Amino acid sequence: MPVSKAWQERLANAREQRIREQRWRCRLVNTRRWLDFAGNDYLGLAHDPRVQAAQAEGARRFGAGAGASHLVSGHLDIHDALEDALARWTGRERALLFSTGYMANLGVLQALADSHTAIFQDRLNHASLLDGATLSGARSRRFHHRDSSDLERLLSRSTATHNLVVSDGVFSMDGDVADITALGQLSQQYNAWLMIDDAHGLGVLGNNGSGCVEGFNSDTVPILVGTLGKALGTSGAFVAGDAALIEHITQFARSYVYTTAQPPSIAASTLAALTIVQHEPEHRLRLQQHINYFRQQAEALGLPLGNSHTPIQPLLLGNELRTMTWATRLTELGIQVGAIRPPTVPKGAARLRITLSARHTPSDIDRLLEGLESCLREDVVCPA
């Protein structure tokens, strides 16, 4: 089917917009200090000298890469040590490393679900969870965001042999947190497994930083996925659960079996980061202080904040052109934020996605607030 002229123009405009954004970033990175309020290094550990030193030492000791898949010869003692540490931290029997969070979600869902499975997903789940469900061949239904009544309605009608409920822990574009208690109760009531992807909660939430599932054991949340490239500041992901679950995923998750193992230097740096998370709660405390301060000041300015008390702070601008205008203004001030537009979010829900880090200083946040105030002062509400 030929591409229409309207679609050709739309694609050309999108390409031009991407080029302009790249040029802004390159220019500003080379000319001034760049304030990053777009990344996910929530505790600032990617820049911690101890984590950096552990990665360098890991490369010297084990080599720059693993050299093979985990099941061939790429799984080293350092991987074992990290998996054991992650299992203990999350209160699970075992953990299994993946190269990325996307690969973890695809692998877990493909290994556990098939055409006899019904998967029930929160409407705002991450794309990797939606894609994993599609690749598994299971029947998928999406319930309204954080709506346990809608989930119960769908579960009560299921005739599938197996039911699997899947949710983000912290939702990546809104920053709100899943109701783990309600999800766990409904899953047990309807004999379903519950899978939580706590990519943005691990290291940030909970008394010991083990995420939004802290206090919930494998009986309530039998399948826990976490990433290492957010609060832990490194790269990769893991799934944690009981021994039988992990053994099954080890043997049948294609994105685990058929790819090169995580570089051992990354495993070494992640172990160092995990030690810091467990023994230095002051990083989480400082991050929470930043979140409270930003929200207090943003509310005083009348900025359109979302309902989030996590490091992800969306400013709900609604209009795509308005969102890009604000992002451009901040870029000119040397401040990087995420400009999120459809199809990542629904039409009419464009926003600036601001993320806070323990590495920020109060003056950094004041600089961001000043930039946002100038955006608000100069704001022209654009047509949809």
Which helix (H) or strand (E) segment is 97 a member of? strand 94-98
Concerning whether 230 is annotated as a catalytic residue, the answer is yes
Q: Are 290 and 356 in contact (CB under 8 A)?
A: yes
Residue 154 and residue 18: Cα distance in Å, rounded? 40
Catalytic-labelled residue, pool 172, 235, 255, 308: 172
Query: Rounded distance, CA 260 to CA 28, Å?
Result: 36
CA angle 71, 74, 77 (to 5 degrees): 100
Contact 164, 118 (CB under 8 A): yes
Q: Is 344 annotated as a binding residue?
A: yes
Partners of 353 in beta bridges: 314, 338
Asked if 170 and 177 count as a contact pair (C-beta separation under 8 A), the reply is yes
Place of tokens 């519950």: 194
Q: Residue 25 annotated as binding?
A: yes
Distance CA 254, CA 305 (A): 40
Known binder of ligand: residue 18?
no
User: What's the Rg (C-alpha) of the chain?
Assistant: 22
| Residue 283 falls in the annotated catalytic set | no
Active-site residue, selected from the candidate residues 70, 75, 79, 230: 230
Q: Which of 287, 258, 329 lies closest to 200 in space, CA to CA?
A: 287
Polymer length of the chain: 384
Q: Known binder of ligand: residue 309?
A: no
Active-site position among 70, 75, 79, 200: 200
Q: Is 102 annotated as a binding residue?
A: yes
Cis status of the peptide bond prior to 343, with omega within 30 of 0: yes
Coil vs helix vs strand at 132: helix
User: Which residue's structure tokens are 């998750």?
Assistant: 253
Longest dimension (CA), the chain: 61
Residue 134 labeled ligand binder: no
Question: Which residues are designated catalytic?
Answer: 172, 200, 230
Annotated binding site for substrate: 25, 126, 344
Annotated binding site: 25, 101-102, 126, 172, 200, 227, 344
Annotated binding site for pyridoxal 5'-phosphate: 101-102, 172, 200, 227
